[in-house]
Structure 1
């Protein structure tokens, strides 16, 4: 049982409760009223004026103010507008007096800046800001003419500018003139041109005779300023039908919420049922994505915008449109079809279904003729079924048109719109691409699916047509159009329509890849079109391959930089005075006459070998010592481009996006791999301890050094990668230097070789020296053993002579003596001296005349008598002893002199 409060206490609290309830009631009512006011303001119908609703640039579409404009020392002009197509000057506000058509002009030149003329043309200021197509913008221009200060408010951003004028007189906007909206007056009330008109919608124009504060302008930008007496505009759209004369404009009603919203996104419905993959593809080509509502509000917006197409897209199924959803059978989640992220919001009819297989997609109910409980609902369906794509574009996507000449009358950028229930392409200025049914005279040809027409709206005779290949054929990608009356002068043009961004390549079907994937030897486009037409070279018709690149200055020849790489020295033929080597010569130069395309950073991929005969290339001639002709056998030759710079700015005259590079910034590389046999004047006086210097010259033939000069590469002028130790010589050093030949520019290559004398030391010098030593040893034989002594000497002499003959036959024959010849002659002479000495000793011993016996007196010894035989033997011993000493002394002196000859330079 609950307990009750005492009556006395209830009585005491009653007044307080009553007061609190009263306060709460007031607050609640204020809140409800506030919400009502906001809702009413959002739902408030407002009138907007649409200029040039058919897209044709006209001179007869405008608003003319019926009232009188007073003199104004200060003025503020506020308005909201949305541009459909751009003009050279989108004229918003044009006020003229009799003697000055630009007393006050506010307009936008293209989409880059606002132009402002005031006060009899005293000043003109340009204010940079971007105008986005098909987006509502709020603008206020407040001019304090006394302080000469302009405040510009654009969508909540305020910038202030000081007026630059030399006039010191008071600035004023003179009254009594004519105010027009949507046209620029080049004369009072006239002088209109198509290119200075407004194509778009204007709303909530207000003109004040005072300078609005920053706060007031920001309030206007947020659509919070009511057009009532408190705001005191002297001109406004509050009663537009009474205050303005409307000439060929449409007066429409919309909610204030729509005219104030800065929303850029758009729903676009392609009315041809497609399988999911093709639906995904065509949304990608349009620059958008398959729609995917993320809340109930998004669902109802999507439903309302798709209902008009429900009957066309319904193929008898419960759903009519594709959503950007795919199921994951492994995780049992429904994911975004591009990112794979699981969805936080779904709206399936009934329970959320199970993902049965990976080929399940989701359809959207956009038909209001079925059960209302199904409206906006999601259904699972096989991805091979057909439905219409609903594409969501989160901004105005401008499609580029490539392939038109610079002077073409057609627009180069388009955005997607609806035209009679079908997708159309509206140009940013004057053109439009629309779909047309088959012509009546097609005789019901089943293959005639109609055509797309690109037309200049203000010049109907200027048009181009594309025959449709199927009912779902859209002009995305690259197609051949039939053109009429365009200034380019061609009856047919290959035109590419693409949503690809800067730095992307458009495949033939309209899909996009990165420009670096173009011509990289990999198929990235579905049709492989990225690897078609991969010509790196662009030649002008005036190009002449007989002429070298032009000189940058009259006395400055074109430089050809040379890198020379020697792979191997195949042979050094001393007998024939020549050597053979494998050489790779790389010539690098710049030709400003050329243009290259889609160059890779890897030079090897930028091959021009097939175009080598079309280009001027330096003709290189190899010469030997004394400028003698060399035998050159070419093994391989290639021409390529080395990329140094970034590509030039994109040129949309070309149907395909490609990176174009200037020839003056990116070099040509000519690589020739050759086998060169060239003479060398060997100096063999010090053979086999000789050091040789062989030279080879490379000369640019046919063009004098006044036009072409060759220079060695500073870093890699010459290099060698082969074995330096050859059969007889070792390559010690290689050099390259500038050396002209007559009036022709050239380089000289020097090869420094040292003889590998070890072979000759071991095979010639040591054996011959041993034979000499053996011959010398006969002086240590018994003197009486003449036969043995003479046989050893003669045998050594004969062997030495045989060695000399063999060595002489294996080394080059020269008219002068070589060191090896001197050595062999010395060895032979030494052995000859040994033989002669043995004979002399034998003669002294046996045949020298002795008449009498002699007494020999030796100090410290008794006297002795020697017979003639003993005297002969003593003489022979003395001669033998002399030979023992003489031969090594002479040999030592010879070796010292010989070593000096070797070491002398």
Structure 2
């Protein structure tokens, strides 16, 4: 097989002969991947005592160090590195093996679980060392300390009279081997010491700076028995070199498309770094001359192009300047016109050419570069891994870490096959022979696999994308967070396709509420009422108009969600999804005259927990959230008028308590439970006429249904009303009172002023009353106006009564006051006062007015004012 020959030619420099101190033997077992696994290929050694020795002659090892180096070509569930048995009962005296991704071992037939997760990539040399000083052990991986622990075996003694197998697991002394528990690959530098090796020595072995051989056994110098095994000798530095794999792609493409293909294959366009690589590429390209032959001398693109500076050639993939060139004499000759490098057809030289041409090319990968096949039922992640490898039917094929292979059948079809059982599981057809299976495609099942039967159409994904990434349809990779973010991030825009959020179960019903936390427990819904803004408070119609949003939050345990974002607003369900799920319904019980308008509604998904860990077989690679990690949020925004029964006794020093009553109408409280209700108001607290205060929400049962009562207080802002109502009326009252000081003879002036004041007062009273609803009870402002009207009216009556009194000396009071320096009050109407000539004074109008303006009206106004404000203050309204 070409791939095996190529690997051997790269790895090994000369056949087995005498070995130098800085050289090691390499044993290659079962290198033909297309042959069934067998126990006939082995490397074996019998220790010198053998089966016929007596116990006295047997050498015993109590302390030891065991090291080995290996290179895996193909994985199995169990990969044994070496096995030592000295009897059928002690078949696992020493056994080191890799189980999936962990290293485990046996010591004196006791299994030890090291728990070490080791590198499971193929085609790379690894070095392991185990140091045993009973009852403890230490494990070193690639020269570094890995773990340590206590041995379970009671005895430390290991008799050296048994059989040692490399790359096999013995289930009995020199027997019981299983073809499925063998090594496919290379093993070297197997060494046994009967003493503990220190860390410095182990590190020098691992990093290829020394070749310290075991004093008990060394696979380099100890004569090992081999069968169906390739044995070669290499310099120890070989183990620490990278081994890149170069694969020719016999499909003609533009350089940009070629570079993209290599990138999608987890590789780079190949450009030789030295003369050896260049010669090898030229030799490998010979079988593809007919497929890749370009115009004239051109054969294939190399991964290099002319840089921004003329004459500076750099790698197409990373822009690094080329360390090596191999130009044909006279090349490059295209100046700025020919900017791409090609390998010539008939010789190993280079030339420059137009980048607009289509030619074959080559991709190079490391051991860390692989693709993954998703959509089947592999049990462990690295079972999905495939390597871009050699050629089948003149096409590169993809070799699985285990026993699967994807190859071209030569007729526009790619096959997924088990190379050990020779079973074709699936096929993929293309219209063009040059297309490759990278990306997401629909395969046809040919033989039963997983839960699929022959004839099924199955969507499989094949790409380099890591499990935590999203694979575009064309095989390119983007971060999962950009999936369905309303922006094209994939080159083929597939990240914005099929962006439904809800993942329905097969038995979902949208006509009934989802179950609660446990059987028989109600579904819990958390309401949040957002009072957005008050648009109008209508005192006359006893109502208020406002915009309100009701958000209901619940868990639907029958649903999963895909690709939701941390921002809730980006997770809006489509109309089809909204129709498909169950959603709660509400009613407003105190809407005024049916004035209710639904402005907008939507159902969103709120992320409250972490997504499920990505699963390595998921072909769609969506980010899935379980019901416990998400919440459904229904948001409905309304504009409505609500009734509010205003109690205006203390107007304008009143505070009104209003409510919004919301009923959960979907189901009664035996099915739905309202909890953790909250109310939010972020609008202005000081409205033009009112101040919003004390907003609360309470959940109550009513006729078996859950009721939410949102209560808030509207305290009237009375400062303007004091200026526009009380201050003017107080001034009018003062004007009426002031007419008592007008001369008695000016009756017309006194009556006109009081009548005008009374008229103005009534007009104000009527205007204020029109701005208030009709009530059967008297309001405080009414009492104020009634009082002011009564005072003005009584003054009018007083003026009429004074006019009907007998005539008197109008200036008598003034003269008396000046002479005796007494106040008008002392000369008030008192029976029995004497005139200057000794006679009694008659009743007079000036005396009556003086008495009323001095005693009666101030007393009345003072008493009413005190009573009025005491009522207001004791009511707690201001």
Q: TM-score, normalised by structure 1?
A: 0.80
Q: Residues 68 and 254 of structure 1: is their aligned pair in 2 closer, same or farther, counting only changes over 3 Å?
A: closer
Structure-1 residue corresponding to 2:570: 605
Residues 243-271 of structure 1, C-alpha deviations (whole Å, 9 max, x = no match): 34x3xx45365655696354232212112
Name the SS of the counterpart of 2:633 in structure 1.
strand
**1:633 paired residue among 570, 573, 597:** 597
Deviates more, 1:216-225 or 1:663-672: 216-225
Structure-1 residue corresponding to 2:105: 116
Q: Does 1:264 align with 2:264?
A: no
- The Cα shift of 1:784 comes to 4.7
**1:533 paired residue among 498, 501, 509:** 498
Aligned equivalents of 1:751 and 1:630: distance in 2?
22
1:94–1:179 Cα contact (<8 Å) kept: yes
Name the SS of the counterpart of 1:612 in structure 2.
helix
Aligned equivalents of 2:605 and 2:850: distance in 1?
82
**1:288 paired residue among 267, 271, 280:** 267
Aligned equivalents of 2:725 and 2:197: distance in 1?
113
- The Cα shift of 1:393 comes to 1.3
Q: Does 1:889 align with 2:867?
A: no
**1:671 paired residue among 635, 641, 645:** 635
Q: Does 1:403 align with 2:363?
A: no
Q: Residues 878 and 422 of structure 1: is their aligned pair in 2 closer, same or farther, counting only changes over 3 Å?
A: same
Aligned length: 819
Q: Residues 312 and 777 of structure 1: is their aligned pair in 2 closer, same or farther, counting only changes over 3 Å?
A: closer
Q: Residues 815 and 153 of structure 1: is their aligned pair in 2 closer, same or farther, counting only changes over 3 Å?
A: closer
Residues 174-228 of structure 1, C-alpha deviations (whole Å, 9 max, x = no match): 736x655544344566655454232223456566778777777667657788899
Name the SS of the counterpart of 1:688 in structure 2.
coil
Structure-1 residue corresponding to 2:464: 499
Structure 1 segment 713-862 matched on structure 2, within 5 A: 717-722=679-684, 724-726=686-688, 729-742=689-702, 747-758=708-719, 760-784=721-745, 786=747, 789-790=750-751, 792-845=753-806, 861-862=836-837
Structure-2 residue corresponding to 1:852: none
- The Cα shift of 1:385 comes to 1.4
1:57–1:195 Cα contact (<8 Å) kept: no
Structure-2 residue corresponding to 1:658: 622
Q: Does 1:426 align with 2:399?
A: yes
Aligned equivalents of 1:100 and 1:346: distance in 2?
63
Aligned equivalents of 1:768 and 1:664: distance in 2?
66
**1:647 paired residue among 611, 626, 641:** 611
- The Cα shift of 1:331 comes to 5.8
Structure-1 residue corresponding to 2:580: 614
Aligned equivalents of 2:18 and 2:92: distance in 1?
41
Q: Does 1:680 align with 2:669?
A: no
Aligned equivalents of 2:389 and 2:188: distance in 1?
21
- The Cα shift of 1:407 comes to 6.5
Aligned equivalents of 2:75 and 2:585: distance in 1?
56
2:525–2:672 Cα contact (<8 Å) kept: no
Name the SS of the counterpart of 1:501 in structure 2.
coil
**2:70 paired residue among 66, 71, 81:** 81
Structure 1 segment 277-316 matched on structure 2, within 5 A: 277-296=256-275, 298-300=277-279, 302-303=281-282, 306=285, 309=288, 312-316=291-295
- The Cα shift of 1:551 comes to 4.2
Aligned equivalents of 1:465 and 1:881: distance in 2?
121
Aligned equivalents of 2:448 and 2:840: distance in 1?
145
Residues 674-730 of structure 1, C-alpha deviations (whole Å, 9 max, x = no match): 1232222211001122122223244544242885333245xxx4223247323xx22
Q: Residues 624 and 61 of structure 1: is their aligned pair in 2 closer, same or farther, counting only changes over 3 Å?
A: farther
Q: TM-score, normalised by structure 2?
A: 0.82
Q: Does 1:901 align with 2:874?
A: no
**1:106 paired residue among 92, 95, 103:** 95
Name the SS of the counterpart of 1:494 in structure 2.
strand
Aligned equivalents of 1:546 and 1:101: distance in 2?
67
Structure-2 residue corresponding to 1:586: 551
Name the SS of the counterpart of 2:804 in structure 1.
helix
**2:849 paired residue among 859, 880, 885:** 880
Unaligned segments of structure 1, at least 5 residues: 1-36, 439-449, 848-855
Aligned equivalents of 1:159 and 1:522: distance in 2?
45
Aligned equivalents of 1:350 and 1:234: distance in 2?
52
Name the SS of the counterpart of 1:196 in structure 2.
coil
- The Cα shift of 1:476 comes to 0.5
- The Cα shift of 1:755 comes to 2.2
- The Cα shift of 1:582 comes to 0.8
Structure-2 residue corresponding to 1:850: none
Name the SS of the counterpart of 1:658 in structure 2.
coil
Aligned equivalents of 1:131 and 1:410: distance in 2?
8
- The Cα shift of 1:478 comes to 0.5
Aligned equivalents of 2:135 and 2:642: distance in 1?
85
2:834–2:840 Cα contact (<8 Å) kept: no
Q: Residues 686 and 73 of structure 1: is their aligned pair in 2 closer, same or farther, counting only changes over 3 Å?
A: same
- The Cα shift of 1:361 comes to 1.4
Structure-2 residue corresponding to 1:487: 450
Q: Residues 761 and 115 of structure 1: is their aligned pair in 2 closer, same or farther, counting only changes over 3 Å?
A: closer
Q: Residues 107 and 166 of structure 1: is their aligned pair in 2 closer, same or farther, counting only changes over 3 Å?
A: closer
Deviates more, 1:771-780 or 1:518-527: 771-780
Aligned equivalents of 2:300 and 2:237: distance in 1?
26
